[in-house]
Amino acid sequence: MKDDTEEKGGLTRRGFLKSTGGAAAVAGMTVGGLAVGTGEAAAATGPMPKKWNETYDVVVIGSGFAGLAAAIEAKNAGASAVVIEKMAVHGGNSIINGGDFCAPGTKLQKEAGVQDSPDLMYNDMMKAGLYLNHPELARTVADQAKDALEWCENYIGAKFTRLNFHGGHSVKRANQTANASGSEVVNKMLGKARALGIEVQTRTKMVRFIANKDGRIVGIEVRTGYKFPDEKSGKTAYIKARKAVILTSGGFSEDLKLRQIEDPRLTDKFGTTNQPGATGEALLAACMAGAMDVQMDWIQLGPWTSPDEKGFGHVPLFCERLVGYGPMIDPVKGKRFFKETGNRKERADAIILLGHPVIIMGDSYSVPKQVFPRALEKGLESGAVKKFDTLEALAKNYNIPLSALQQEIARWNSFVEKKKDDDFDCMIFKDARPTAAPPFYAARLWPKVHHTMGGLVIDKNAQVFGLDFKPLKGLYAAGEVTGGVHGAVRLGGVAMADCLVFGRIAGKNAAKEKSWG
C-alpha cells in the first residue's frame, strides 16, 4: 500500500519528524494570538509505523453502545470498519447498564398516555445540567433519541417493553429493554455487526494515536493479546484508519488517579457501578494528541446504590422504581430528608451530607407493582433488599426510632393521599398508594461513582475539537468519553440515548471522510 511504502524507512528521524507535524509548527500558524497549527495539535502522538498491521476505513475504539452503533453505521455507509476492545469481553459499561433508553414521543409513552416532546426532554437535560450543557449537543440527543430508539427496535431487533421514570425528568420517558439490561441492545448490535462483517477484536488496547504530517489522525498503536490490567501484556501492532478513528472508550469512574484530580473527595472509599476497565487513559491519549476536554470535574455519584452489594447491583432498580411511590428515610432520625424524585446529584449530595446510608422503602402493593421482578428477587436473594412483616421489624433491623418512623410514614401517606408533598416537593405519581400494606421492603442506599459527565469536546457532528478550537482531523468521539451533552448532571436513561445518537452520527460522518491513503 502507498502509505506503507512511503514510510518504509520506519522509525527513521524523517519518518518521526513527519509524524510530529514539525512543518506546521515551524510555519507558526496563529489562533487567538497563540501560535499553533494542526501539526502541533498532533505532535504528542506516536511515530508513524514502518508497517501497518491492519488497515480499515474506520477504526472504532470501544465496544459499548456508542462504539457498536458507530461501526454499524460506518459499515452501512460503505466504509470498512473494525472495533477494538481492551477487555476480554465486549460491551463495556453498556452491557451492565439497566437498559433504560430515554426518548420523547415513543410508542410506550403513547400507550401510557404520556405527553412528551424533544423540547421537554431538552429542557429537563439543561435544567439538570445546570445549563452547562453544550446546547447543540443536548438538542441533538433530545431531537434524535426517538429515531435512535426505533433504529434499535426495527433495525437491531432490540425489544423495549416497559416505561420507567427517573428523577429529574418531567415525565416517564425511559423505555426499558425486555431484560432490563443494556445487554439486550449490545448483544443484538454485536450480532448485527458480525453479520455485516465487522470484527470486534477484544483484548486489544489502544496505546496512542498516530498523526500524519498535517496533524490528521491516521491510525493507532495498540497492544494485541492485552490482559487487563497487566500493562506489560500483549504485543505492539498498528492499525491504520484511512478515514477516521472513532473514540468510544467510555468514562473514567474506575480511574482513581484521574477522578481524584478532578474531584478529590472521590478516594477509594467510594465504590463504583462501573466495570473495572472504565479508566481514562484513552481520553488522556486524545488530550496528548491535542484534543480539548471539558467539565471533567462533574463526576456523578449514583444515589441509589447500596453498600450491601457490589457494583451497580440490584438495589438501583429497586430504588428507582420506588421513588414517587415510597419514602426515603434517614434511619438516625426516622425522618425523610430530601425529595425522592430529586436528580442524582441532589440526592447523592444530600446523602453524603448526612454522612451515613439511608433507607428506601415500599410495601406489598407498591413493590411488586413497580419493581422489576428479577431485580426484586435478586436483591432479596443477595440480602441487599430486605422484607419485613411489620414496620416494627423494619425499624428494629435498621435501628430506626420506631415512633418517629411511624409518624413520618403517616405523614408521607397523607401526602400520597392528596398527591402533594408539603415537605420536600417530591413528585407523587397518580397511581401511588400509601405505604401501609405489610410486608414492607427496604434497602440501604450509599452513593457510588457512576458516570463522568466531562470528556472530549465534540461538535454536533461528533468531531473532536482541538486546543486550537478547530476540529481535530480524523478523530470522532461519542458516548461517555465526550463532555458537554449532559453538563453538570446526566439524567437517568439519557446515557443510552447519548451513546446511540452520537455513536450513529460518528459512524456516518467518519464514513463520509475522504480517505487519506
Among all residues, which ones are annotated catalytic? 344
Q: Is 134 in the site for its own copies (CB under 8 A)?
A: yes
Q: Which is nearer to its own copies, 152 or 494 (CB)?
A: 494
Judging by beta carbons within 10 Å of its beta carbon (0-12, 13-18, 19+), is residue 120 exposed, middle or buried? middle
Among 88, 196, 261, 437, binds its own copies (CB under 8 A): 261
Q: Is 88 in the site for its own copies (CB under 8 A)?
A: no
Q: Which is nearer to its own copies, 145 or 292 (CB)?
A: 292
List 56's β-bridge partners, or say none: 241
Among 57, 100, 221, 363, binds its own copies (CB under 8 A): 221
Q: Is 205 in the site for its own copies (CB under 8 A)?
A: yes
Q: Is 281 in the site for its own copies (CB under 8 A)?
A: yes
d(CA 345, CA 357): 16
Sign, CA dihedral 252-256-262-266, equals positive
Q: Is 32 in the site for its own copies (CB under 8 A)?
A: yes
Length of the chain equals 517
Q: Which is nearer to its own copies, 162 or 470 (CB)?
A: 470
Judging by beta carbons within 10 Å of its beta carbon (0-12, 13-18, 19+), is residue 214 exposed, middle or buried? middle
Which residues within the stretch 461-500 sit at the binding site for its own copies (CB under 8 A)? 465, 467, 469
Strand arrangement, sheet containing 482-483:
293-294, 455-457, 482-483
Q: Which is nearer to its own copies, 49 or 324 (CB)?
A: 49
Please check whether residue 493 is in contact with residue 316, taking contact to mean a CB–CB distance below 8 angstroms.
Answer: no
Element (H, E) at 186: helix 183-195
Q: Is 354 in the site for its own copies (CB under 8 A)?
A: no
Which residues within the stretch 137-196 sit at the binding site for its own copies (CB under 8 A)? none
Q: Is 112 in the site for its own copies (CB under 8 A)?
A: no
Q: Which is nearer to its own copies, 56 or 298 (CB)?
A: 298
Interacting span for its own copies (CB under 8 A) from 94-102, 165-173, 239-247, 282-290: 282-290
Q: Which is nearer to its own copies, 179 or 233 (CB)?
A: 233
Q: Specify the DSSP class assigned to residue 52.
A: -
Residue among 290, 368, 330 nearest 25 (CA): 290
Grid-cell match 446546547, residue found:
135
DSSP E strands in 305-357: the ranges are 328-330, 335-336
Joined together, the cell numbers standing for residue 313 give: 447491583
Contact code string over 417-456 relative to its own copies, x by CB under 8 A: -------------------------------------x--
Please report, as a single letter, which amino acid is at residue 212: N
Please, what's the b/e burial string for 385-407 (b: 16 or more CB within 10 A of its CB; e: otherwise)?
bbbbeebeebbeebebeeebbee
How many residues sit close enough to its own copies to count as binding (CB under 8 A)?
Answer: 59
Among 133, 253, 274, 275, binds its own copies (CB under 8 A): 133
Angle at the Cα of 326 (from 325 to 330), degrees rounded to 5? 150
Q: Which is nearer to its own copies, 3 or 293 (CB)?
A: 293
Please check whether residue 185 is in contact with residue 158, taking contact to mean a CB–CB distance below 8 angstroms.
Answer: yes
Rg of the Cα atoms in the chain: 24
Interacting span for its own copies (CB under 8 A) from 41-49, 61-69, 417-425, 433-441: 41-49
Q: Is 135 in the site for its own copies (CB under 8 A)?
A: yes
Among 265, 356, 396, 420, binds its own copies (CB under 8 A): 265
Residue among 239, 205, 236 nearest 220 (CA): 239
Among 34, 88, 402, 410, binds its own copies (CB under 8 A): 34
Joined together, the cell numbers standing for residue 309 give: 452489594
Joined together, the cell numbers standing for residue 290 give: 491535542
Q: Is 16 in the site for its own copies (CB under 8 A)?
A: yes
Angle at the Cα of 284 (from 247 to 65), degrees rounded to 5? 30
Among 5, 33, 111, 355, binds its own copies (CB under 8 A): 33
Q: Is 231 in the site for its own copies (CB under 8 A)?
A: yes
Q: Which is nearer to its own copies, 35 or 437 (CB)?
A: 35
Among 36, 79, 494, 497, binds its own copies (CB under 8 A): 36
Q: Return residues touching its own copies (CB under 8 A).
A: 11, 13-14, 16-17, 20, 22, 25-26, 30, 32-36, 40-41, 43-44, 46-47, 131-135, 205, 207-208, 221, 229, 231, 255, 257, 261-265, 279, 281-282, 284-285, 287-288, 290, 292-298, 454, 457, 465, 467, 469
